[in-house]
């Protein structure tokens, strides 16, 4: 499609957009009384209007039923989490028994490492991306230390080539081969938080397995954003947060995937708790742990229903719309944003370098823009003028045109505000 940098053209795209009606299902903050252009759904998604009803329902059941709510609430609390299995499994491409919700992302990665990072004399190294999200770096460092290894030896990072912003797939595959028999685990973010680069989960997982390693993924920036087929791609485990693309609210619960081939493995260590115990016998208060067969068997505590309520509202919305439709719009609106950036770039005296891959296969709902010749004041100008984006050192703004609620006209309008911010 040939794009045009005009309001009329953007409006035309909005008129043809089957998802446009969902924009009205979200609550947008306002700046100077005007609805913002929201580019930070990759950090914290907007609040869906329907979410409050899900939370109110739990508050009311708690008020009216108190402890009886565990069994007699509108959606009983004791198995509330089971409502996620079906919709969540569709979002990440899994069987319902392979997904669960619990805790928060970094906590879950730690818990999954208990099961899946089992270093042996020769095979003890973990391969990850250089400049991974800091929490992942701290998590992996503390895990290898916990097992008595030196992070400088046990952690192998895959670097970008000199002068390049993204990691080449061929370099990841080569590194996996090179570490070979010493490789215990590959653990990478499915979408890099800084550049927005999407990694080839299927190929990397296969290469890790060929080397005899376990392969896990941090899907914080991938869940609800990219097409995932975790079961078919044979991923061992994965975890994600729900507050970014999945719009579940600040700091909210994480989701986990554990491939079914691990479910019955009695040799896997896990930190156990009563909520992972055989559902039919949980309230018999038996002394010996008998895990639920499935990802729910990794749960530890009874679940925080008030935080699951907004997450449930979100997964049900995703189920109604479907990832396919979201991905179709995502690709088009991201391409339109890219076009707008290039158009404005031609009109102003500074250059924007989009460091996210230009290949649609290697990117999703994020363009990271390196501002040559412009700095933080431009970012602050955007924020003051109703463009909500974020700043990452040394000179990058990240723009996520989330397909659920961003419009094509937003992209056009953003271009105009950006131009004004530079040339005055
Ligand atoms: C890629 C990635 N990993 C891990 C985290 C940490 O998440 P949490 O604070 O929920 O543990 C984040 C948070 O933004 C992230 O983007």
Cα torsion 383, 386, 392, 397 to 10°: value is: -120
pLDDT (mean) for 78-103: 97
What confidence score (pLDDT) does residue 423 get? Answer: 84
Ligand 1 pocket: which of 40, 41, 103, 105 to mutate (most atoms within 8 A of CB): 105
- Binned at pLDDT 50, 70 and 90, residue 375 comes out as confident
> Are 286 and 345 within one domain?
no
Does 61 count as an annotated binding residue? Answer: no
Which secondary-structure segment (H or E) carries 391?
Answer: strand 390-392
Q: How far is the CA of 256 from the centre of ligand 1 (A)?
A: 13
User: Do residues 254 and 315 touch, judged by C-beta distance below 8 A?
Assistant: no
Residue 226 predicted with pLDDT over 90: yes
Cα torsion 5, 393, 165, 133 to 10°: value is: -110
> Are 326 and 316 within one domain?
no
Please provide the DSSP assignment of 213-279 as one string: -EEEEE-TTTTTTS---TTTTT-SEEEEESSSTT---TT--EEEEE-GGGTT-TTS-----GGGB-G
Report d(CA 322, CA 325) in Å as an integer.
6
Residue 78 predicted with pLDDT over 80: yes
Report d(CA 351, CA 373) in Å as an integer.
7
Residue 149 predicted with pLDDT over 90: yes
CA triplet 299, 301, 304: central angle to 5 degrees? 105
> Are 44 and 115 within one domain?
no
Mean pLDDT (the chain, rounded)? 96
Q: How far is the CA of 281 from the centre of ligand 1 (A)?
A: 35
Domain boundary among 299, 321, 343: 321
Count how many domains the chain has.
2
Buried-state track 310-321, b at ≥16 Cβ within 10 A, e below 16: bbbbbbbbbeeb
Domain that holds residue 363: 7-49+322-423
Structure tokens at 406: 């961003």
Report d(CA 136, CA 128) in Å as an integer.
9
- What pLDDT digit, counting tens, does each position of 314-360 carry? 999 999 999 999 999 999 999 999 999 999 999 987 678 999 999 99
The response to whether residue 278 sits with its C-beta less than 6 Å from ligand 1 reads no
Could you identify the atom of ligand 1 that is nearest to the CA of residue 43? 14
Domain boundary among 293, 321, 349: 321
Q: How far is the CA of 193 from the centre of ligand 1 (A)?
A: 9
Report d(CA 212, CA 64) in Å as an integer.
54
> Are 141 and 43 within one domain?
no
């Amino acid at each position: 499609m040939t794009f045009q940098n005009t309001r009329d053209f953007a409006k035309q795209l909005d008129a043809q957009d089957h998802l446009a009606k969902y924009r009205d299902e979200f609550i947008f903050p306002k700046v100077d009384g005007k609805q913002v252009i929201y580019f930070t759904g990759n950090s914290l998604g907007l609040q869906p209007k329907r979410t409050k009803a899900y939370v109110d329902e739990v508050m009311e059941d708690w008020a009216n039923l108190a402890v009886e709510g565990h069994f007699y609430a509108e959606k009983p609390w004791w198995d509330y989490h089971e409502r996620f299995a079906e919709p969540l499994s569709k979002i990440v491409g899994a069987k319902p028994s392979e997904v669960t919700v619990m805790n928060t992302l970094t906590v879950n990665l730690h818990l999954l490492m208990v099961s899946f990072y089992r270093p042996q004399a020769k095979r003890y190294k973990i391969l990850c991306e250089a400049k991974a999200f800091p929490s992942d770096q701290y998590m992996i460092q503390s895990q290898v230390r916990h097992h008595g290894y030196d992070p400088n030896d046990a952690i192998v990072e895959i670097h970008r080539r000199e002068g390049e912003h993204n990691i080449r797939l061929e370099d990841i595959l080569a590194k996996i081969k090179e570490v070979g028999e010493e490789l215990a685990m590959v653990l990478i973010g499915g979408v890099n938080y800084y550049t927005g680069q999407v990694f080839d989960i299927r190929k990397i997982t296969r290469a890790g397995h060929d080397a005899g390693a376990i392969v896990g993924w941090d899907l914080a920036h991938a869940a609800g954003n990219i097409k995932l087929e975790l079961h078919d791609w044979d991923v061992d485990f994965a975890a994600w947060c729900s507050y970014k693309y999945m719009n579940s609210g600040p700091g909210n619960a994480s989701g986990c995937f554990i491939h079914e081939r691990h479910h019955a493995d009695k040799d896997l260590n896990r930190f156990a708790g009563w909520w992972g115990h055989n559902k039919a016998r949980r309230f018999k208060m038996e002394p010996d742990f008998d895990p639920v067969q499935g990802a729910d068997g990794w749960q530890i505590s009874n679940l925080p229903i008030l935080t699951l309520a907004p997450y449930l509202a979100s997964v049900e919305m995703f189920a109604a719309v479907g990832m396919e439709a979201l991905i179709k719009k995502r690709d088009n609106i991201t391409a339109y944003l890219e076009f707008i950036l290039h158009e404005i770039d031609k009109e102003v005296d500074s250059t924007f370098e989009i460091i996210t891959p230009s290949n649609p296969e290697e990117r999703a709902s994020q363009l990271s823009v390196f501002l040559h010749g412009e700095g933080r004041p431009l970012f602050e100008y955007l924020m003051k003028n109703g463009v909500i984006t974020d700043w990452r050192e040394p000179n990058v703004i990240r723009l996520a045109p989330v397909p659920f609620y961003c419009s094509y006209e937003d992209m056009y309008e953003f271009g105009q505000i950006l131009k004004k911010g530079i040339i005055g």
